[in-house]
Chains A and B, each alone.
Chain A
Amino acid sequence: MSSSYRQSLTLARRFVVEQGGEIAPLSVSEEELNPDVQQDEATKAYPIEATTSPIKVQYAYPQDSLCSEFRFFEDGRQRTIQIAHIPTEYGSHLLMVPVHYFVVSAVILERVGRQLQLWGEPMIRKGVMVARSLIPNQEILAQIEAAGLLVEDTESKTVGSNDYYDLRRRALRRAKSLRLQYEQELISQWRESKESEDAFLVVDGTLMNMRDEKNVARCVGISKSFGSRYFDVTTHNRIMRLQEFERSWAFRFHADTSEDDPRLGVRERVSWYLRLRQGINVDPEFGLVRVEISKDYADNVGEFANRFSRSLLSDRLPTSYPAPRWDKHLYPIRECENYLGSIMAGISTITASMCG
């Protein structure tokens, strides 16, 4: 265990003990308990290209197997574990305030030749999440923060209650928010760097969460799971029946008028589906990814869709087998995950540190 983790975990434990809390770490993270919370997708889409038939990507195998233009890959991870609860009196009620230990991180890998290496410094933050105002002894909280423990507030400032379950859910959302924030910071650094000129960054997952449009304009988001059907059943079935090396028509996630968009354009992205590989006796989504790029490319989206699809088809090898969803998981993205996994404290380390 590195010294920075040791210090952070020691302070977290001290914080709980000195607040009169009870150390009671869970053996699973909030992310594992509530995987759906990380989903964030639009509900309606509008075709830009004709939906009548799939589009064959100009990708010749095996001659084009090294044709990928992508050199940069980004991913972020978060781990939020309830480590304790602090009983506190709130009026005539006794509240249980959950305390979470969190680690969020983000990394960009650069491909030089055929080798992956770190680009810049990965982001990593760790600390505890707790409803600040419910902490009984604010003086101790201040002391421990001064000693170096990062404390994030999970209290609702606007709507919603502060009961035990709400605070737990909010810890998870706060961790996600922090992760996205650090991912955005890292991507901004990359975008402003000399190395990134004329390059696109392949990002794991949707670009819907990105608020900085300058970043979005330089990213290609790859979604591996889809929870929504954006077109009528017949049209959507054409997507499900895409053949290897075929892509769908491009579409956008809101109409030309902003009236239909409840989030006022923040989800405005251009997207298409791409079949990376096909198999026998596999589900309809086997090898199917959804690619997202900035709305800035809507005018000549066909050109970009063909170009990026070609690169992604090249990057379908090597596979990430036996990782979950290996059929659509790009290997460099999995290496981002592996790297982050190696620098983040594991659940067993966190829970064991609390008990120790």
Chain B
Amino acid sequence: MTTDLNNASDTSRFINLAYGAIGRTASTRFEPTTSSKFLFWMAERGETHQRLTLEIGNIVVARADDGSDLTFGTVVEMRSYSDVDSFIADYLSHNFGDADIQVPTDISEVVVVTCNVMRNLSGETRPLGRSQAFFPSRLGIEFSYGIVDERGESLYLGAPIPIGIFENGDGTIAPISVDENFVVGPEGAHLNVSGISGLASKTSAVQFILKSLQAHTRKRIAIVMFNVKSRDLLYIDRANPRLATEQWSQRAYEAIGVPMSPFAAPRFFAPQNPSVPAATLSLRTQNVEAFSWDLTMIRDSIPNMFDAMDWDDKMEGLWYTIREQIERRNIVAYTQMLTFIEQTVQNVPQGNMWALNHHVATWQKMRARLQGLPRTFRGLIRTAGQGRDLPWNDLQSGSVFVIDIQMLQDKGKKLVFGRAMSEIDAMMESEDKNLDAVVVFVDELNKYAPSGNVRTPIKHTLIDITARGRGRGVVLFGAEQFASTVDREVIENSSTYLFGRTESNELRHPNYTTFSDEVKTKLTTLPQGQLLARFAKFAQPIFLKFPFPPCLPGDQYQPPGEA
């Protein structure tokens, strides 16, 4: 079925006719309509001249007077004009500067709205002619973003994954979905969310989207979340009590078909507490599985655990000597490795400064650094006995792992995250994998993939995964305060990008140049629960609302006895 453009009842499916026209497009000598932009003046409503509830980010549809087309646009700028030529004119109108004066006739004012063209029904790229502007219907909204075709049927090859609710100026709400194939591969992948901290928006949004992904995906997907601060993700197995009373959120969950329940059967992991082996380094006390790595598990990671300044050619050469001993199973435990170094140094004959072709000073430096690693990476390195790695092979469709690393120092966090990404990547490369994708969510992404020329192993891994991971199902959901602090390649490889409230300084960064000044202004004051979403298949970004997360936010957790 194709839409008959000359049939008013046919095109009316895309328009909220009940609300009425909200303005008329105009193309002037100095501000012409183009194929990518149109302008309309905003109508007033009723005898009270009530202003419409139109705002930046709303979607409008322009219906050509000759019925030749419907053009959808998003509001990127609103300017209020009066017929006052200058400030001096207004000054005179107030009796030469009397600010208290009331005048019997209000100065004529008009609000001119600039819209970026998103899509049109004819599919032709051309400036629109004289048109009436309306709010679109829900079908119109979904059509404008290329989510559905004229019949309202999905245009996505993958499952539509709702990521939020769009609420237009007339109150029409529409769930906004992204294409699963662009979220977890293979066409595109990765999601990034930025915004200032303290609004609980980023984590809440990601939790909601992950729940939505679980509910709507047609693929076999597992989720791995890293809890990097406080109790953020430690209670995702508990229901969010606010949802019981918050009606908008309840309606939102219902509208988008996502169960309003916490994550089912997640497993929690944390480094083993070296002081109390039965406990973990986690703020969550129950049902947390410990992990720690013995020497055989982390031998490949040890070079990355050193400061870059300490790791030179001599140290690297010596490490190969030690590593050979480990591979030959002459050394199996961390303390054994330290003992081996100690003995090697002690056995050097007096007057000789070399042992196994390495200078004694290098040996001593290696010993000192290796002795310090268990403290730096507290809880991660098991110096004696057998370690217990994270059970990556247990991941299956529907699995949710939460790895609590918030008690670790930055180096420890990087080690855990880097190892996890490498392990998952390796697992997803194997041919007998039982998953289509593993989604890894980590906050404070800037710590792992900072912008600039800093080259670290973990950053290299992340760039590689975001560039090529979509093909093998390794998907990164990252969050950070400022997108400018994250490596450009990691950001640009994300098919879905969410912006929360953002500081004006940050908005000067090239990442935001595509946004109009007014969209940027709105971003600086964006309320909690709203984000600006940019998706690879959307012609324009969209302001979305999302409901309260389905699970208990960590900061609202009250330990037993304190409730």
Contacts and interface: CB of A to CB of B under 8 A. Distances in A.
Given A331-B93, A332-B105, 13 more contacts: A61-B95, A62-B95, A62-B102, A65-B101, A115-B49, A115-B105, A314-B104, A317-B93, A317-B95, A317-B103, A318-B93, A331-B105, A338-B83
A65 B47 CA distance: 23
Contacts of A335: 83, 105, 108
Interface stretch (B84-92, B341-349, B553-561): B84-92
B106 A114 contact: yes
Contacts of A292: none
B100 A315 contact: no
A124 to B, nearest CB: 18
B94 A318 contact: yes
Contacts of A331: 93, 103, 105, 107
25 contacts: A62-B100, A65-B95, A111-B104, A111-B105, A113-B49, A114-B104, A115-B105, A115-B106, A116-B108, A315-B104, A315-B105, A317-B93, A318-B90, A318-B103, A319-B93, A321-B92, A321-B93, A322-B86, A326-B92, A331-B103, A331-B105, A331-B107, A335-B105, A335-B108, A338-B83
A61 B104 CA distance: 13
A255 interface: no
B384 to A, nearest CB: 85
A332 B107 CA distance: 9
Interface string B47-60: 11100000000000
Contact of A62 (B47, B49, B90, B98): B98
Interface in B102-161: 102-108
B89 A65 contact: no
A317 B49 contact: no
A322 B94 contact: no
Interface in B15-66: 47-49
A53 B545 CA distance: 71
B93 A114 contact: no
Contact of B85 (A66, A115, A321, A338): A321
A174 B107 CA distance: 35
A177 B470 CA distance: 78
Interface residues of A, number: 23
Contacts of B95: 61-62, 65, 317
Contacts of A322: 85-86, 89
Contact of A319 (B49, B92, B106): B92
Nearest to B98: A62
A113 B104 CA distance: 8
A66 B89 contact: no
Contacts of A317: 93-95, 101, 103-104
Given A317-B95, A321-B92, A114 B105 contact: yes
Nearest to A322: B85
Contacts of B83: 335, 338
B104 A66 contact: yes
A46 to B, nearest CB: 33
Interface residues of B, number: 23
Contacts, number: 67
A317 B89 CA distance: 11
B98 A318 contact: no
Interface in A312-331: 314-315, 317-319, 321-322, 326, 331
Interface of A: 61-62, 65-66, 68, 111-116, 314-315, 317-319, 321-322, 326, 331-332, 335, 338
B104 A68 contact: yes
B171 to A, nearest CB: 25
Contacts of B88: 321
Contacts of B105: 111, 114-116, 315, 318, 331-332, 335
Contact of B101 (A62, A111, A116, A338): A62
Contacts of A314: 104
Contact of B47 (A61, A112, A315, A338): A112
Nearest to A70: B104
Nearest to A62: B101
Candidate in B85, B93, B94, B105 with the most chain A CB atoms within 10 angstroms: B105
B45 to A, nearest CB: 12
Interface string B70-83: 00000000000001
Contacts of B48: 113
A113 B50 CA distance: 13
A335 B473 CA distance: 65
Contacts of B93: 317-319, 321, 331
Contacts of A114: 103-106
A66 to B, nearest CB: 5
Given A61-B95, A62-B95, A338-B83, A319 B104 contact: no
Contacts of A315: 104-105
A321 B89 contact: yes
Contacts of B85: 321-322
A65 B108 contact: no
A281 to B, nearest CB: 14
Contacts of A338: 83, 108
Contacts of A62: 95, 98, 100-102
Contacts of B103: 65-66, 114, 317-318, 331
A214 B107 CA distance: 32
Nearest to A317: B103
A114 B104 CA distance: 6
Contacts of B49: 113, 115
Nearest to A111: B105
Contacts of B90: 318
Closest 9 A/B residue pairs (Cβ)? A318-B93, A321-B89, A114-B106, A317-B103, A68-B104, A319-B93, A319-B92, A318-B103, A321-B92
A3 B85 CA distance: 31
Interface in B401-431: none
Contacts of A326: 92
A71 to B, nearest CB: 10
Nearest to A109: B105
